Amino acid sequence: MKRLSEVSRREFMTLSAAGLTLANSTQLFAVSQKEAVSAKTPPPVSPDQALHDLLEGNARFVKGQPTSPRRSPEDFRALAEAQYPHAVIVACADSRVAPEILFDVGVGDIFVVRIAGNVIGGAGATVKGSIEYAIAELNVPLIVVLGHSGCGAVKAAMKHIDVKDSLPGAINGLVELIKPAVAQSHGLPGDVLDNAIRKNVELGVERLKQLQPIVAPRVKEGKLKVVGAVYDLRTGTVTEL
């Protein structure tokens, strides 16, 4: 089996052409061309372009027409030396929220941090350090804080809003971090759970935008965008907040 570095340019172009035959959308065509131009160091992507690509991928997923790109052994091998993801996705650990699938992207495309309740504020060095690593070392231009409908962690925070130490182990400490979102969404019109889920995402986005010393300056310079979104388990749709 050849490594990508051993594949000749002609073979690479042939592979790309085969990819194009399979591709039936202009967006995919653009991606394949980009790959053909620079297999090793792809050109940087703007925050808006990265967000646009994710939402287009989600639209394909919702329509039941995913292209499921970059998932072959060759794609994995090509990335063995380096990665160039276009977005950090901070998503819930929930088994139904699978970022690569719902955004219809492939290996190396997104840098995913998953934690129950997609908690950021108070989550500590492991979560913030993971996000900061992607920004500082990999120059990722976009962070998406992705909540989802029916989130069990947010439900637990609502249920135990007035009770401390009501959940076993470290679950209680995790749920405590979501309670501010529940409290701040109290009294808003609409569904109480949906409101708390949205507020939890919004608080995460705000926290990240102010996170020093890596994230906040880049946001201010326009090199990095932080957005919130909610994934609907029933429809598969990701809605930007």
Residues in the site for Zn ion, rule: CB under 5 A?
92, 94, 151, 153
| CB of 226 or CB of 230, closer to Zn ion | 230
CB of 166 to Zn ion, least distance (A): 19
Between helix 192-209 and helix 152-159 the angle, nearest 10°, is: 110
| CB of 82 or CB of 241, closer to Zn ion | 241
| CB of 94 or CB of 104, closer to Zn ion | 94
| Euclidean distance between CA atoms 88 and 142, whole angstroms | 6
The CB density around residue 226, as the number of other CB atoms within 10 Å, is 25
| CB of 151 or CB of 230, closer to Zn ion | 151
CB of 153 to Zn ion, least distance (A): 5
Q: Which residues contact 161 (CB under 8 A, 6 or more apart)?
A: 179, 182, 183
CB of 220 to Zn ion, least distance (A): 30
CB of 116 to Zn ion, least distance (A): 6
